[in-house]
Amino acid sequence: MKTAKNLLARAREMRSFGPPTVGYNGRVTQFAQECESNLEWQEVEVRSSTDPKKTYSVSIPPWEGTEDITCDCPSWTYRGYCRHTREAMRKICNWTSNDPVPQSEEQRRNHVCPRCGRNTVLVEE
């Protein structure tokens, strides 16, 4: 099972390697980078469309797929769906090396996310 804990362990393990590495058998391992915010639970505040004074809190898990996302609004609580989760997904960084937003040479060297400015972690391609 994919959990936040083993993702973080994997990220820490990756951080200790330098990109790219050549194995004793000549196999080249290429490393990509991704924003470290992808590796933890994220809480995103989304404003209610019916009451502008109200905000709801959406929790987004560090793994792919949308089935574990939750929202604390009444619609989610009673019906299991709402529009806030989709809006929250658009607000998070979610940057990876495959993203259209490119890293500058300096950001690549220093492992900085070009979208949100946080650190990046190395992941095996």
Q: Which residues of the shown chain bind Zn ion in the complex (CB under 5 A)?
A: 35, 56, 71, 73, 76, 82, 84, 93, 95, 113, 115-116, 118
- Please tell me the distance from the alpha carbon of residue 48 to that of residue 14, in angstroms, as a whole number: 40
CB of 97 to Zn ion, least distance (A): 12
3-state secondary structure of 97: coil
Please give the full DSSP string across 34-47, using - where no structure is assigned: EEGGGGS-EEEEEE
In terms of CB distance, is 21 or 104 closer to Zn ion? Answer: 104
| 36 phi/psi in degrees, rounded to 5 | -65, -20
In terms of CB distance, is 19 or 114 closer to Zn ion? Answer: 114
In terms of CB distance, is 21 or 49 closer to Zn ion? Answer: 49
CB of 105 to Zn ion, least distance (A): 18
